[in-house]
Every structure is written in C-alpha cells, then in structure tokens.
Amino acid sequence: MTNLAALAPELDKQAIELPSWAFGNSGTRFRVFSTPGTPRDPFEKIADAAQVHKYTGLAPTVALHIPWDKVDDYSVLRKHAEDLGVALGTINSNTFQDEDYKLGSLAHRDDRIRRKAIDHHLECIDIMDATGSRDLKIWLADGTNYAGQDEMRGRQDRMHESLQEIYARIGENQRLVLEYKIFEPAFYHMDVPDWGTSYAQVAALGERATVCLDTGHHAPSTNIEFIVMQLLRLGKLGSFDFNSRNYADDDLIVGAADPFQLFRIINEVIVGGGYGNPDVAFMLDQCHNIEDKIPGQIRSVLNVQEMTARALLIDREALEAAQIAGDVLAANSVFMDAFYTDVRPLLAEYRAAKGLPEDPTAAFLASGYLAQIAADRVGGTQAGWGA
C-alpha cells in the first residue's frame, strides 16, 4: 500500500477522542502554570477541542470527566458540542479526589465509602444516558502504601462486587472500561495494577466490560504491543489512553518519547483487527503543562495519524514471506522500511484532498483563535486538573 489512493480509505477510519482535561491547566506538584484563554468551564473546553477537529478532521469526540465537567443540563452541553461539529464521548469517573477515598473507593473496607463510590458511578451512567456516551471509563486510585496495610485479596473481592453492581446498570449499548496502572498514587500495591488484573475483573463481569490500555501505565521496558495483541486476541481491548512517558505516568504528547513504540502498537492494532473497529476506542490521556494546549492536542493527533500511516505501509506480503522463510533480517527490514518512511508529504496531500489544511498547526495558529480566547476569557476561574 504505497499510494494515496490505497491509503486514504484506511486513514478515513481514524478517529481519536480528546480528553476535556487536556484543555485545562495542569502541572506537577511543584507548579501548575496557566495560559491566557484557558477554558473556565466544560463549554469552553469543548469549544477548544472542536478546534482540533476543525483543523485535523481527526478528533470528532471529547471525553468528559465527572465531577470536573458537571453541568446542570447535559442536553445543552451535547447540543453545544454538536453545533461545533463534535460529539461527547467517554465519561470518566473520579473516585480519587474526595477525602473519603483516602484508603480507596470501590475496594474500600467501609460499606459507606464503597456505597458512595458505586453511587458516583451510577450517576456517571445517568450522565452517559443524557450525553449519548457509550463508554464509562473507570480508573481507580485504590491501593496501599505499606505491606500489611490491608489485605489484598479482600480488596480484590470487594472491587469485584462493586464493579458488578455498576455493570448491572450499564445499558445495552454501553460499556464499562477498566483502566490499569502500575503505581501512583498507591506505592506498595494498586488494586488494578496491570492488564491481567483488569482482564480478570472485566471477564468476570460480562461482554460489555473491557480493558483500557493507557500507554503510560507500565513498568519501563514493558512490551506494550504484546499486551495489545493479547487483549485483542481475547476480545477485551476496549480502548487506548495514548500518551508518552519517559519515566512514570508523564502524560506527555503521544509519540514524543518513542514514536517507534507508537508505530509498533498501532501495527498490532492493525494486525489484530482493532483498526477501524468501533470496539477499540482511540483516546488521548494527556496534559499540557508547559506547551499551548490546543496546538499540543493537534500535534498529538497528527503523531497518531503519522504512525498509523506508516504502519499501514508495511508490506504485509513481503513480511509474511520473510517470516515463513525464517529470514529474520528480511522480516525486520520490511518492518523498518515502513517505519522509516516519511509520510508527512503524503498526509498533507491527503488533507488537501479532504479540504483540510495541509499544515493544521500553521492554519490554526494563523486563525487568531488563541488571541481571541485570551481576550474573551477574562475573569472566572480557569479549569485545572481537578476543576
């Protein structure tokens, strides 16, 4: 697949969901820097997200985070999004920013706190009904900091029971997606630390429960594309949270640290039938601590598109022939040839043919939108990772 005519229909299948929180201020525990024009509410976050879609054609949906993105009337927010050419996507729950959750949420020993956490998820599903969202994404901060602090088996059992109650409320056309993370905020053990645990938990729930793979949530050197292959093989890869990491859960622009890893991951998605498959959602989970947020999101979706185009260019026949022949170096060469192909001119041509700017970043920067929001959004409180 080397020419645009062959590649275009495949590229057309790509849709990447943006996180509403990427448009708010974020930072580290040392400092959160603000930018002029940062959204003050979910409406402004969606307006910014719509800019990314306008210039790239790649990001038709926006994920919300509850309670950060709570509004009085979700039909108004939904209409606002639709008027701007995007739709509301995944609903992310949040059981990690309330005093009650210090020792956990869905796995907590205390019935009252578990009840509160379950009820929060039921409320999220009510919101999904109003927004038309398909996926409830659950990431749990539950875990312990010290050996002996709590009994790990009991926590696993309670988490299962809590998830069962939430899953029972998930609609026919909705899904529960359980994300895992190796560490943080808990430093001794997390209750959902890895794909195996997430898989075991969702498999025990039923068909409409799947795993979310966040690319920043593994130990260094983990072969993430192997996990992609395995989850696809098991029919349980529900979604990706794409981002890039150098050290821990850095949440940097996807593809920034290791574009080759992103290429390998997308290759496995293609090989495993996950590309262009509505069962596998491509999402970003990123924060822009020092760079401008909208151009940061534009760069992110373009990085995913570039690595997808390269992965689509792999000469599958030549690769298989080399594999069958046991020709290790020839197989690797076929793989690397595609990775080393500069697809940027091809993608510029692709965009032009679709009536999109050849250079989305330049077109966005020239539009004056950043100056406009800086001038318009005066007063109020800028949204942050937590508001």
Q: Is 214 in the site for ligand PSV (CB under 6 A)?
A: yes
DSSP reduced 3-state for 71 = coil
Q: Is 68 in the site for ligand PSV (CB under 6 A)?
A: no
Q: Is 135 in the site for ligand PSV (CB under 6 A)?
A: no
Helices (H) and strands (E) in the chain, counts: 14, 10
92 vs 308, which CB is nearer to ligand PSV? 92
Q: Is 48 in the site for ligand PSV (CB under 6 A)?
A: no
The pair phi, psi for residue 296, each rounded to 5°, is -65, -40
DSSP reduced 3-state for 53 = helix
User: What are the helix (H) ranges across the chain?
Assistant: 4-11, 42-56, 74-83, 111-131, 152-169, 195-203, 224-233, 259-271, 293-312, 316-324, 328-339, 344-353, 360-366, 369-376
Q: Is 210 in the site for ligand PSV (CB under 6 A)?
A: no
259 vs 386, which CB is nearer to ligand PSV? 386
Which of 44, 48, 214, 306 is the binder for Mn ion (CB under 5 A)?
214
Q: Is 285 in the site for ligand PSV (CB under 6 A)?
A: yes
Which of 78, 181, 293, 310 is the binder for ligand PSV (CB under 6 A)?
181
Element (H, E) at 240: strand 237-242
Omega within 30 of 0 (cis) for the link into 36 = no
Question: From the list Mn ion, ligand PSV, none, which binds 142 (C-beta under 5 to 8 Å, kind-based)?
Answer: none
Residue matched to tokens 């790239």: 56
Least distance between ligand PSV and beta carbon 252 (Å):
12
Q: Is 251 in the site for Mn ion (CB under 5 A)?
A: no
Element (H, E) at 16: strand 16-19
Which of 41, 142, 179, 225 is the binder for ligand PSV (CB under 6 A)?
179
Take residue 101 and report the two structure tokens written for it: 């959750």
Report 89-118 residues binding ligand PSV (CB under 6 A).
92
Question: From the list ligand PSV, Mn ion, none, which binds 181 (C-beta under 5 to 8 Å, kind-based)?
Answer: ligand PSV
Q: Judged by CB under 6 A, how many residues of this single chain contact ligand PSV?
A: 8
Report 263-302 residues binding Mn ion (CB under 5 A).
285
For 153-163, letters b (16+ CB in 10 Å) and e give: eebeebbeebb
Which of 41, 48, 241, 306 is the binder for ligand PSV (CB under 6 A)?
241
Least distance between ligand PSV and beta carbon 238 (Å):
13
C-alpha–C-alpha distance, residues 192 and 139, integer Å? 8
Residues that bind Mn ion (CB under 5 A): 214, 241, 285
Residues that bind ligand PSV (CB under 6 A): 92, 139, 179, 181, 214, 241, 249, 285
